[in-house]
């Protein structure tokens, strides 16, 4: 369907104080003046009852700016393009022509000027909708233009932070709570002393446990064979006992004590004398090698020499004596003395 151009005269109210008659529109059939129509308020409809295509925005602006004594809104000639689906019947064209002719006949006119379009008594909702859409689009465009500035703001904050971080390095920011270096050193010393005390206490406890667990009296040679006892032998008196064992078998102190003598001895070849806490002295003879020296403290079970066959000896063995009361004390039988201390031969 092609374009349909229609024009209509605009009726203008006479100026204030004027009584001239307003010429009416002429009939399309008789050419006679038609009666002046009241102010038009109807909204023309298009195909199928839908609103006709609105006039361009320029026409709407012209309508909004007209003075109040203008009886019609449309003052411009507009082209109205009505588009219908190609599959509609040709009768729709005839109906549309009739509707447009009726709308144009009902519109008021003014002398010398013809107006086209539709009579409007008030603004259409479609025009308001178009204005709102246009405003939203404009706001969106302005917002997009403002985006780079907003995006640049975090960069500015980051630059400021970097400037603060890389500023004057000579300025040292102290923490809110602090102590002096001397106080910190004192605290370190306290901790070190506490740890040392704890370590000493632990070591003392371990030593005490070991002390309690170790034996107080032992045999002078472990696994030895008893070969001769205390008493007369071969026309003489034997003042000790003999314990036979292989050469260089370890010999140990029978109890805690201090080495009084260590070295060559008449009849023993080599001998060691140890003084114990109760004042008694134990004697070890015929060893192959001495491993202690005078003044050395030894514990029960500590090795003092290696068994041998030196001096007046008939084979590798240990000659063991007990001098009750000291070096020059009474030489007593070692077997009962050891038994009293829990050591059995």
Q: Which two tokens stand for residue 274?
A: 């140890």
3-state secondary structure of 54: coil
The strand pair at 250-252 and 330-332 is best described as: unpaired
Please report the pLDDT score of residue 130 as a whole number. 72
Predicted local confidence at residue 263, as pLDDT: 97
* Interstrand relation of 114-115 and 330-332 (parallel, antiparallel or unpaired): unpaired
All structural domains of the chain with their residue ranges: 182-213, 225-340
> Can you name the CATH fold of 225-340?
Glucose Permease (Domain IIA) (2.70.70)
Q: What local confidence, expressed as pLDDT, does residue 177 receive?
A: 84
Write out pLDDT tens, residues 233-253. Answer: 888 899 999 999 999 999 999
CA 169-175-176 angle, to 5 degrees, is 140
pLDDT confidence of residue 94 = 58
- Cβ count near 154 (within 10 Å): 9
What pLDDT was estimated at residue 30? 46
24 φ, ψ (degrees, to nearest 5) = -90, 170
pLDDT on residue 74: 41
For residues 111 and 9, the answer to whether their CB atoms sit within 8 Å is: yes
Cα distance between residue 254 and residue 215, in whole Å: 10
> What is the Rg, in whole angstroms, of the alpha carbon atoms belonging to the chain?
68
**pLDDT the model gives residue 282:** 98
Q: Which two tokens stand for residue 67?
A: 């003075």
Residues of the chain with pLDDT under 50: 1-22, 24, 27-31, 36-38, 40-41, 43, 47, 55-56, 58-60, 62-63, 66-89, 109-123, 144, 146-148, 150-152
Helix (H, G, I), strand (E, B) or coil at 193: helix
């Amino acid at each position: 369907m092609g374009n349909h151009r229609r024009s209509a005269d605009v009726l203008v109210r006479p100026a204030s104080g004027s009584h001239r008659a307003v010429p009416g529109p002429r009939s399309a059939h008789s050419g006679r003046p038609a009666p002046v129509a009241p102010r038009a308020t109807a909204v023309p409809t298009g195909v199928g009852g839908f609103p006709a295509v609105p006039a361009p925005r320029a026409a709407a602006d012209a309508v909004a700016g007209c003075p109040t004594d203008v009886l019609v809104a449309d003052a411009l000639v507009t082209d109205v393009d009505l588009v219908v689906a190609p599959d509609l019947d040709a009768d729709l064209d005839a109906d549309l022509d009739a509707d447009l002719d009726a709308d144009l006949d009902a519109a008021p006119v003014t002398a010398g000027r013809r107006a086209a379009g539709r009579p409007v008594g008030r603004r259409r909702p479609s025009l308001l909708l178009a204005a709102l859409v246009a405003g939203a689009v404009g706001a969106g465009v302005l917002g997009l233009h403002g985006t780079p500035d907003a995006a640049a703001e975090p960069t500015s904050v980051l630059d400021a932070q970097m400037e603060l971080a890389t500023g004057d390095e000579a300025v040292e920011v102290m923490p809110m709570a602090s102590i002096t270096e001397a106080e910190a050193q004192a605290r370190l010393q306290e901790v070190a002393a506490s740890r040392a005390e704890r370590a000493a206490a632990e070591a003392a406890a371990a030593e005490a446990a070991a002390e309690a667990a170790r034996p107080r009296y032992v045999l002078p040679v472990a696994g030895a064979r008893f070969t001769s006892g205390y008493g007369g032998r071969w026309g003489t008196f034997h003042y000790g006992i003999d314990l036979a064992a292989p050469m260089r078998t370890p010999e140990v102190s029978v109890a805690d004590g201090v080495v009084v003598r260590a070295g060559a001895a008449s009849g023993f070849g080599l001998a060691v004398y140890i003084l114990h806490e109760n004042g008694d002295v134990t004697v070890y003879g015929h060893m192959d090698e001495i491993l202690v020296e005078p003044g050395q403290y030894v514990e029960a079970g500590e090795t003092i020499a290696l068994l041998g066959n030196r001096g007046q000896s008939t084979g590798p063995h240990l000659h063991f004596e007990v001098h009750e009361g000291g070096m020059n004390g009474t030489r007593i039988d070692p077997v009962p003395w050891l038994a009293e201390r829990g050591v059995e031969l």
